[in-house]
Amino acid sequence: MADLYLKALQSERTKLWAEARLKGLPHDTPQRQRIREIDEQIAAHKSKQEGAKQGDAKQGGAKPAGGDKAPGGKATGR
């Protein structure tokens, strides 16, 4: 599933970066400052996602092998 929040941040960053690059804006402009803020938000979001993935793995979020089989080893789907 697509992470729409992350996509929105990356899209805004790309737009601002292109504008700053095209106009040759100095580093202390609001556009460049916003790019730095977005970079921090992206990094925080990715680390949050990684923490959630690791938390799922620790809690046994994955199905055990053969999880769709009955105790006798026969598949339950008919």
Query: HEC string of 7-58?
Result: HHHHHHHHHHHHHHHHHCCCCCCHHHHHHHHHHHHHHHHHHHHHHHHHHHHH
pLDDT per residue as tens digits for the range 48-77: 988 888 887 776 655 555 555 556 666 655
Question: Is residue 76 one of the residues assigned to a domain?
Answer: no
Chain segment 29-48, per-residue pLDDT in tens: 999 999 999 999 999 999 99
- How many domains does the chain divide into? 1
Q: pTM, whole model, 2 decimals?
A: 0.65
In a domain, 65, yes or no: no
The residue segments making up the domain with residue 35 are: 4-55
Residue 77 lies in a domain: no
